[in-house]
């Protein structure tokens, strides 16, 4: 039986920062991979996410490796680092994500995406700093939500809710999920309709709305 392939693209969130295991990170994507696939079906998981990655890194560096792997499922969770840069351009972010989503779904991969909380709120920054970051993150979330609908992604709305305010879900840096937070993300993706019947009628649906 051919192994099911899951490739994760993105930044430190998907790399697993906040969920240490041994000398490295585990994270939500690795946890999700461990619980996917029918019984007796092996799952091949490759995590291409890198701390600090922006949308251009995903497009230019991670996407070619992901396409070469021909994944059955591919997650793309990125954009927070873009909002932290002076060069932030929502039109460029949208164009890059469009190209990434199109390429992966063009290979019939099930696409996983998520909207995320704004970093200013998570870090407790003063309003004069937090408000611009909030506007930027809302813009990114709006783009991700719209493109997720266009490409039939399994989309997780994680930008708000009880888990955001629960400090037990977050690591000491207040920006990355801790072990409980990573497990929560994995559980929500798993319970939200991630299916493995790729290339022969996969099950795709969106979870919630991004505002």
pLDDT of 207 reads 39
pLDDT of 10 reads 98
Q: Are 178 and 19 in contact (CB under 8 A)?
A: yes
The secondary structure of residue 6, as a DSSP letter, is: E
Q: Tell me which residue has tokens 């003063």.
A: 126
pLDDT band at 42 (very low <50, low <70, confident <90, very high): confident
pTM of the model: 0.90
Tokens matching residue 91: 């039109």
Which one is predicted more confidently, 84 or 202?
Answer: 84
Q: How far apart are CA 38 and CA 198, in angstroms?
A: 13
Please say if the pLDDT value at position 189 is more than 50: yes
Question: Can you say whether the dihedral through the CA atoms of 87, 91, 95, 98 is positive or negative?
Answer: positive
The ranges assigned to domains in the chain are 4-207
Q: Tell me which residue has tokens 């977050």.
A: 170
Contacts of 140 (CB under 8 A, 6+ apart): 79, 80, 82, 83, 90, 93, 115
Q: What tens digit of pLDDT does each residue of 57-104 get?
A: 999 999 999 999 999 999 999 999 999 999 999 999 999 999 999 999
pLDDT of 194 reads 60
pLDDT of 118 reads 87
Q: What is the H or E stretch that residue 162 is in?
A: helix 162-165
Q: What tens digit of pLDDT does each residue of 166-176 get?
A: 989 999 998 89
What mean pLDDT do residues 103-129 have?
89
Which one is predicted more confidently, 149 or 197?
Answer: 149
Domain topology for 4-207: Rossmann fold (3.40.50)
């Amino acid at each position: 039986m051919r192994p099911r392939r899951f490739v994760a693209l993105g930044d430190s969130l998907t790399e697993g920062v906040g969920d240490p295991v041994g000398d490295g990170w585990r994270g939500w994507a690795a946890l999700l991979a461990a619980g996917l696939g029918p019984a007796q079906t092996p799952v091949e998981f490759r995590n291409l996410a890198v701390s600090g990655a922006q949308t251009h890194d995903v497009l230019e560096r991670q996407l070619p490796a992901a396409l070469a792997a021909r994944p059955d499922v591919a997650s793309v969770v990125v954009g927070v680092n873009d909002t932290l840069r002076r060069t932030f351009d929502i039109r460029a972010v949208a164009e890059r994500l469009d190209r990434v989503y199109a390429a992966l779904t063009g290979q019939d991969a099930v696409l996983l995406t998520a909207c995320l909380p704004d970093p200013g709120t998570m870090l407790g920054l003063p309003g004069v700093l937090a408000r611009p970051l909030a506007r930027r993150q809302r813009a990114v979330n709006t783009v991700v939500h719209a493109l997720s609908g266009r490409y039939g992604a399994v989309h997780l709305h994680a930008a708000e809710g009880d888990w955001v305010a629960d400090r037990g879900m977050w690591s000491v840096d207040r920006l990355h999920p801790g072990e409980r937070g990573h497990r929560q993300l994995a559980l929500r993706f798993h319970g939200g309709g991630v299916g493995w019947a790729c290339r022969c009628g996969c099950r795709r649906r969106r979870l919630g709305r991004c505002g």
